[in-house]
Amino acid sequence: MPRRLGGSVAVVGIGHTVQGELPDLTAEQIAVDAARAALADAGLTRTDLDGLISCKSVQGDGGDVATGKLLGVNLPYVQTLDYGTCNFSLHLAVGAIHAGLAETILLTYGANARSRKVDFGAPVYGVDLAEAAGLVHIAGRAGLALQRHKALYGTTDEQFGMLAVGQRQWAAHNPNAIFTKPLSMEDYLAQPYLVAPLRRADITMISDGGVAIVVTTAERARELRQPAVYISGIAEHAGIRGEHNPENLMRPWLREAAGAIWAATGLGPDDIDALYIQDPTALWSLQMLEYYGFCGLGEGGPFLAEGHTLPGGRLPLNTHGGQLSESYTWGWLHVVEAVRQLRGQAGERQLDAPAIAMYCSSHGFVKAAASILATSPDVGR
């Protein structure tokens, strides 16, 4: 089980580029633009850094060496992750800070998959037999899991559609969001299936963009210009046997990450004021709401239908619009939004003084991660 962190590490800077289309920029240029914004937000410069954790895009751009050249830094601690969602980068930074490898670490992510017209129908994990049968694009596997959920638990299109419809409601108040046009349930249900039972609105649209985050010790954080947002606890679990796991598309191993994060913080679902779930498809949110215990297993449909995750509900979910309505950026902006909400800087969509936020993500159908962030260093102590 992860150790109690007790707010020993904090997020002190957040930054991002415009989300959408950034033609003529490389992934590393986009990452550097985001890094400049995050450092400015923290009131730091690159000379204050002693660590860099860069995240590769799906296309393999954004390695630490390529990013470091453009940033113009030599540092005591540098690392690259080949998978995203920001959670894994954040956790690596916590570990590095606790080990004393670095004190102030910049996390970067940049991608230009839209302008590069990357083919997301192409096999992701190399040619395989499932793809040979036409099971291509993430919508295929997500659709299989949703269809199974519908058959087991009676989940309806209207219940599941609450995710896409709700995300658009939140995005309406986010100037950074790509999709802000209202989406009613009637509009949603009128959309044709893309990969039944999934519609277009259930799946993220690829966009270009960059995000960067600055993480440091709680002691250092208190000297900086922004209100510190403390990391109260982290947990991960990997189902890396992948499709050789029974029922793998239901991602039963999410339950292990959930058990670990609650045990590591002493918190429970009722303590969470704002929830962030990385959502390349809406299925991710349905599964994680259940496994992390915000509702019972199989009860996600009725839970969503009751409106708890919408603006005004008791469990605000992805208050920026998430990957379905804000942008593709692989979960990174979920952390940015959680920090904004906890700082009280979320503008028109600001919640009423949230104290604890949670971010859950997964890397495809193999890895799960969760973090809890709070305004007080005493949470999770």
Partner 1 sequence: MSDLTPIDDPLAGPYFQAARQGRLVVQRCNACHALRWPPLSGCPECHSRDTAWVDVAPSGTIWSFVVYHRAFAAELKSQIPYTVALVELDDGPYMVGRVIPGPKPPAVGDRTIAEFVETSGVPSVHWRIA
Q: Contact positions toward partner 1, by CB under 8 A?
A: 119-123, 127-137, 139-140, 143-145, 147-148, 151-152, 192-198, 241, 243-244, 249
To partner 1, the closest distance from the beta carbon of 132 in angstroms equals 4
To partner 1, the closest distance from the beta carbon of 366 in angstroms equals 14
Q: Given the DSSP bridges, would you call strands 209-217 and 105-111 parallel, antiparallel or unpaired?
A: antiparallel
Contacts of residue 124, defined as CB under 8 A and 6 or more positions apart, other chains included, come to 58, 138, 364
To partner 1, the closest distance from the beta carbon of 63 in angstroms equals 27
Indicate the residue among 149 and 349 with the shorter CB distance to partner 1.
149
> At how many degrees (to 10) do helices 282-291 and 157-171 cross?
100
Q: CB-based burial of residue 163 (10 Å sphere; 0-12 exposed, 13-18 middle, 19+ buried)?
A: buried
To partner 1, the closest distance from the beta carbon of 365 in angstroms equals 12
To partner 1, the closest distance from the beta carbon of 149 in angstroms equals 9
Indicate the residue among 193 and 219 with the shorter CB distance to partner 1.
193
Indicate the residue among 145 and 257 with the shorter CB distance to partner 1.
145
Indicate the residue among 120 and 293 with the shorter CB distance to partner 1.
120
Q: How far is CA 291 from CA 256, 284, 299, 300, in A?
A: 9, 10, 11, 10
To partner 1, the closest distance from the beta carbon of 94 in angstroms equals 31
Indicate the residue among 151 and 190 with the shorter CB distance to partner 1.
151
Indicate the residue among 175 and 246 with the shorter CB distance to partner 1.
246
Alpha-carbon gap, residue 171 to 148, rounded angstroms? 29
**What is the signed CA dihedral for 129, 130, 133, 134, rounded to 10 degrees?**
-130
The answer to whether 4 touches 380, Cβ cutoff 8 Å, is yes
